[in-house]
Amino acid sequence: MCYWRHKIEHIGLACDAPMDICMTFNNTANSLIKYDFAKRIDASECKELLHQAYESNLVQCGENVREGVNFICNCCGCCCEAMLAAKKFGNMHPVQTISFIPNIDSNTCVKCEQCIKACPIGAINKVLKDDYVVIKVDEERCLGCGVCVRNCHKNSIILLKRKEKIITPSSSVYRAVLMAIEKGQLQNLIFDNEALSSHRAMAAILSSILKLSPAKKLMTSDQLKSVYLDKLLSVKK
């Protein structure tokens, strides 16, 4: 079940996109099934749900990690708070790594605006360029989801790889560390979160910190102001 669409349904504002469309995996799924918040389905049923999501022009996005993906969400632009946040604030790469960008062929584009209507976060607009109206993609905001591509009946849009490669976090812990660093709240993640107080959780966080880029390590050291961590980071070099 889509959590966000279900939530919006309670106030009578949900769209007509499928409700039972999002998927969870691994221990997360086992927990939800155990307490009757989800039902178990097989791989063929998962593929059918993905097809339904595609046909409904939903944004298909998995957990932003390379290992141990725990969910695949199929989001609309009107109910999903992640989409609404992207629409308002733009992309936040630790949350969702974006590898592709739509490229619009101005020679074949007829400016029908179907891509503008289809974009779930309003990242495509009409603009003036050299006194001509063109369809332009806001690359800073674009999710690279491809919904615009499937709605272009002239086949004027293709997805290209972004010039700057953004590395997908290896795990959910690594992603959480990156997000906390970007917000300047790494100390809060470590010291104010009881769920991360176990030795195992702290070891995972420390391991993630040691894998950071030099710039991120510097930010980490500045936020935590830990002599112990500074020593570890200097040894890691």
Residue pLDDT, tens place only, 43-99: 999 999 999 999 999 998 887 777 778 889 899 988 888 888 888 777 655 455 678
Do residues 15 and 80 share a domain? yes
Beta bridge partners of 101: 160
Of 59, 145, 153, give the one whose Cα is nearest residue 112: 153
pLDDT, greater one: 105 or 195 = 105
- Amino acid 149: pLDDT: 95
| Same domain membership, residue 48 and residue 22 | yes
Percent of the chain with pLDDT over 70: 87
Comparing 173 with 198, the larger pLDDT belongs to 173
Count the domains in the chain.
3
pLDDT confidence tier of residue 196, bands split at 50, 70 and 90: low
Per-residue model confidence (pLDDT) at position 105 = 94
User: Are residues 42 and 111 located together in one domain of the fold?
Assistant: no
Residue 206 has pLDDT above 80, yes or no: no
The answer on 155 and 224 residing in a single domain is: no
Q: Name which of 101-105, 120-124, 185-189, 199-203 the model is least confident about.
A: 199-203
DSSP string, 66-126: SS---EEEEE-TTT-HHHHHHHHH---TTTS---EEEEE-TTT-----HHHHH-TT--EEE
Q: Is 107's pLDDT higher than 80?
A: yes
* Bridge partners (DSSP) listed for residue 126: 135
> Which residue has better confidence, 153 or 68?
153
What does 162-215 look like in DSSP terms, one character per residue? -SS--PPPSSHHHHHHHHHHHHT-HHHHHHS-GGG-SHHHHHHHHHHHHTS-HH
Taking only the tens place, the pLDDT of each residue in 3-26 is 888 888 888 888 889 999 999 998
Residues 124-129 have a mean pLDDT of 90
Domain region containing 34: 3-89
* Average pLDDT over all residues of the chain: 83
Closest by CA position to 209, among listed 179, 185, 174:
174
Q: Is residue 113 part of a domain?
A: yes
Domain for residue 226, yes or no? yes
Which is higher by pLDDT, 1 or 227?
A: 1
152 plus 186 within the same structural domain? no
Q: Quick check: is 166 in a domain?
A: no
Can you give the pLDDT at residue 210?
76
Which CATH number covers residue 137? 3.30.70.20
Residue where one domain finishes, among candidates 161, 181, 199: 161
What pLDDT is attached to residue 94? 45
Please report the pLDDT score of residue 177 as a whole number: 81
pTM: 0.69
- Tell me if 14 is assigned to some domain: yes
For the segment 131-141, the average pLDDT, to the nearest whole number, is 88
Domain boundary among 40, 66, 89: 89
pLDDT above 90 (res 117): yes
